[in-house]
Amino acid sequence: MTKLSVNINKVATIRNARGGNVPDVLKFAQDCERFGAQGITVHPRPDERHIRYADALAIKPLINVEYNIEGNPKGVAQSRPYGFIDLVKEIRPAQVTLVPDAEGVLTSNAGWDTVTHQQYLRDIVKEFKQSGIRVSIFIDPEPHMIEQAALTGTDRVELYTEGYARNYAAAPEAAIAPYLLAAKTARDCGLGLNAGHDLNLGNLAFFRQQIPWLDEVSIGHALIADALYLGIAETIKRYLACLA
C-alpha cells in the first residue's frame, strides 16, 4: 500500500495567523497518526511562516510513524543561526526530501535540475545518508533528470505533480502519461518513488492506480482544506481509501 504522509504546514499557518498555540500543531501531528496516517511531513522555510524550526524538533519524539522533513539544504532560519542541514541531522527523521525552493516563493514550484546541481546533490545526499537518513529528491517528471538523480546516490525521487493535477479533469490519460514514464524510469534506475503537490480526493486514486508501485504521497493543502468540511479523521480515512 502506498503510504499517506500528511503535511501539517497549513495547520501551523492558521496558528501563526493569530499567535498563541491554537490550533496545537504538535497535537495535530499526533492525531493524524491516531487517525491512520502513516507519516507526518513538515517543510520549514527560512521565514518560518508556517512550520517553525522549533516545531520540527518538537514533533519527532511525539510520533511513531515516519517523519519526513522537506526543504532546501541552503535554508537558514531567520530567527536563529540554524541551517536546514543542521536541523535535519539533529532530528534524524526517517526521510529528508530535498526541494530547490527559491527564497520568497509561495509554494514549491519546480524540481531539481539534477544535471546542473549534480555534484552539489551528491555531497548533500552523502551527508544525510551518513546520518542514517533516507533521502528523496523533488523532481519534475523528466526521465533524464531522474536518471541523473540516480547518480547522486539518492534513495528516492518525489515527482512534482502540479502538472498532473492541473490537467487531470480535462484529460486524465494525457495528464498521467509523463508521470507514468517518469515512474517507470525511476523504477528502472532502482529508485523508490514518492509524489506530491496538488494531489487531492478527486485525482489521487487514478494516480495511484496507474502507478501502483508508488511508495508514498505527501499531501497538505488539499487535505487540510477537506478537513474543514469533513473533519480530519474522515478526511484521512478517505485519502487512505484512494491509496488502497
DSSP character at residue 3: E
Q: What is the pLDDT of residue 82?
A: 76
CA atoms within 13 A on the CB side of 126: 8
pTM, two decimal places? 0.94
> Using CA atoms, how far apart are residues 241 and 244, in angstroms rounded to an integer?
5
Angle at 98 between CA 96 and CA 100, to 5 degrees: 155
Q: What is the pLDDT of residue 28?
A: 98
Q: How many domains does the chain have?
A: 1
Range of the domain at 169: 3-243
User: Catalytic residue positions?
Assistant: 43, 70, 197
Nearest Cα to Cα of residue 136 among 180, 176, 100, 185: 100
Angle at 40 between CA 152 and CA 228, to 5 degrees: 130
Nearest Cα to Cα of residue 128 among 99, 158, 98: 98
**139: helix, strand or coil:** strand
Q: Could you report the average pLDDT of every consecutive run of 10 residues in the chain (244 residues)?
A: 97 96 98 98 92 96 98 77 90 97 61 95 97 98 98 98 98 98 98 97 98 98 98 98 97
Question: Are 243 and 4 in contact, with CB atoms under 8 Å apart?
Answer: yes
Q: What is the pLDDT of residue 104?
A: 56
Question: Are 159 and 121 in contact, with CB atoms under 8 Å apart?
Answer: no
CATH, residue 46: 3.20.20.70
